[in-house]
Each structure stands twice: as structure tokens, then as C-alpha cells.
Structure 1
Amino acid sequence: MKQGLGTQLRHLIELLDGAVQQSYVEAGLDYRPRYTPVLRALAGGQPCTVGQIAESAGITQPAATQTVALMLKEGWLAVEASPTDARQKLLRLSPQGERLLPELQACWRATAAAADSLDADLPHPLSDTLTRAIAALERRPFGERIRNAKE
């Protein structure tokens, strides 16, 4: 029986994220792959709001909020009040985040090279296929496609 798209995608994510997580363990880093979009957004040194991080990382604001909360708890980030709006909180890398950023960037380069290697093994690069799939779903959401299939 052919597996459904969701099952295949979850399995693919398990295979990819498990290997990425193991690479952090092997590098001696106590780090979760889900932190990467947030750290990349802050790696330039400019403090950002959660909304700016979400936009920069291409993730939802609730996902960014959850990830930021974990990262604050684990000491990866520091928070400060905005100089222009006291109600707004700005996030930046903590000293721990700054100190470990070069090691993380080395891991990210290795992960990117591994992704390139995977793309080279496929008849159509996975990264290109995913980009096209995301664009197609942004034009016509999957929920709409499901509703149309029921008609």
C-alpha cells in the first residue's frame, strides 16, 4: 500500500532531523535543529522582535514564539526592551549563543553540503521540488484542493 503524502513527509523529516540532531551531538553541542531559523535571523547581530524573526525565518509567529521561549529558557537568547517602544521586546543572541555561533555555522555548512549531496542523488533536486510545492500551495492551499476533491 502506498503511504500518504503526510506520512511520507513526516518520515522524511524524521530521517533528516535525526541526522542533523546527531551531528550536533557529535559536535558536542546541546542544540535543537528547530532553533536554527531563529539563530540565523539573529546571527547578524541586530536585535529583532518575535515577529521580525518569524518573517525572516519564514515560520509562523506562534512557532517563533514557542521556539524563542525554549531558547530563552536554555540560555541561547537574551531579551531587552525596545528603545523606541517599551511594550516591545527585542531578542538577541546571549553570550552563550554568540560563543557557540561559529561551531553552529560549521554544522550548518556541513548540513548544506549534505543537502547538496542528496539533491545530486535524485533525478529532481528535493530542494527545488519543495520550493515548487510550497509555491503551488501558497497559490492554491491544500485545504482548497481537498474541498475540490470532495465535489
Structure 2
Amino acid sequence: MPHDPTAQASVWRPLRRLLNDLDDEIDQFYAQRGITGVRLRFVGPLIRLGHRGAMSIRELADALEVTHSAMSQTVASLRREGLVRSVTGTDARTRQITLTDRARQLLPLLEAEWRATEQALRDLDAEIPYALSRAVADLQQALARRRFRDRLTAHLPPS
């Protein structure tokens, strides 16, 4: 039987763990402040709706550079948590997503957390010898030269 590839450490598993740990700390920040029902993936859409007003799911997805499917799922979760509601758009075929009063009350703290998180990440970037933001930009440039799919295929046996 061939060697189990999942038995050896993944090259980027530490990065995934790091990002998950950071996300967990932000979740703890919300919990310490008694904020329930708010997940990290909700914050961007809530802030965007707070600044732009009612938007369709497509507009929100495009504005935040995620797929329509992902935003549709997020909006469904936001609705379940009582943070957004849908209203009829300019024509009867479209639905617009708007904030509830509960979401509007949370916005100042959500925006403050967002700004503080971005500053804390800039501080971390400045503290290490090679900034993660630089590494990401360098990786994006390398992938622009040669897609990851092509790199992956190069390491597979011929089909």
C-alpha cells in the first residue's frame, strides 16, 4: 500500500492554523462583549450594507469579491440571526437586503473591531522580518506567471 500523504505535515497547515487562531480570537472578542449570533463572515456584509444601504445579493457579492452562492448562504444566516431582512427592490423581481435595527446597533463596534484588527495585522506585519502581506503579494505574482493548477498537474503522473 502506498504511503498515506495525509500522514506527513502539510506545507501550509501552520498558516491555516494561524488564520483559524486569529479568527477564534476575534470570536472571543465578540463573546467578551456579549455579542451573540455574529460570525466573522457576517461583519463585511453588515458594514457594507451600513454604508451603502440596501443592496441585492449579487451587488453585495460583487462588492465584497465573493461568489453569489457564498453571499446567498451568508445572507440566509444573517436573516436567521435577525441582522438583515429582504425587501422588494425597484421592480418586483428583485430583492434588496437591508439591516435590521439590531444590526445597526452593532455597527459601531463591528467597524471599530474591523479597524483595530487591520491595525493589529499591520503591526504584526511590521514586527516580523518578512511581512505576510509581502509574501501574499509575491505568491500572487508567482501564480500570475504560472497558475497553481498547472503547477499541480506537473506533479501528477500522466493520465
Shorter chain as denominator, the TM-score bin is 0.7 to 0.9
Change in CA separation of 1:67 and 1:115 when aligned onto 2, cut-off 3 Å: same
CA distances 1:23-78 after superposition (whole Å, capped 9, x unpaired): 11122211211112211321214211111111111222211111110001101111
The CA deviation string for residues 109-129 of structure 1, in whole angstroms up to 9 with x for no partner, is 221221112111222222232
Amino acid at match of 2:29: S
Q: For structure 2, list consecutive stretches of 5 or more residues without a partner in the other structure.
A: 1-6
Going from structure 1 to structure 2, the CA distance change for 1:79 and 1:135 (only over 3 Å counts) comes to farther
What's the offset of the Cα at 1:134?
Answer: 4.3
RMSD of Structure 2 on Structure 1 (CA)? 2.2
* Structure 2 residue 95 is matched with structure 1 residue 89: yes
Map of 1:112 onto structure 2: 118
**Structure 1, unaligned runs of 5 or more:** none
Identity across the alignment (%): 31
Deviations 1:55-102 (A, max 9, x none): 11122221111111000110111111111x312111111111111101
TM-score, normalization by structure 1: 0.85
Aligned residue type for 2:111: Q
Deviation at 1:135, TM superposition (A): 5.6
Q: TM-score, normalised by structure 2?
A: 0.82
Is 1:79 paired with 2:86? yes
Q: Which residue of 2 aligns with 1:130?
A: 136
Name which one, 1 or 2, has greater alpha-carbon Rg: 2
Q: Secondary structure in 2 aligned to 1:43?
A: helix
Give the counterpart of 2:41 among 10, 17, 34: 34
State how far apart, in whole Å, the 2-side matches of 1:75 and 1:139 are: 45
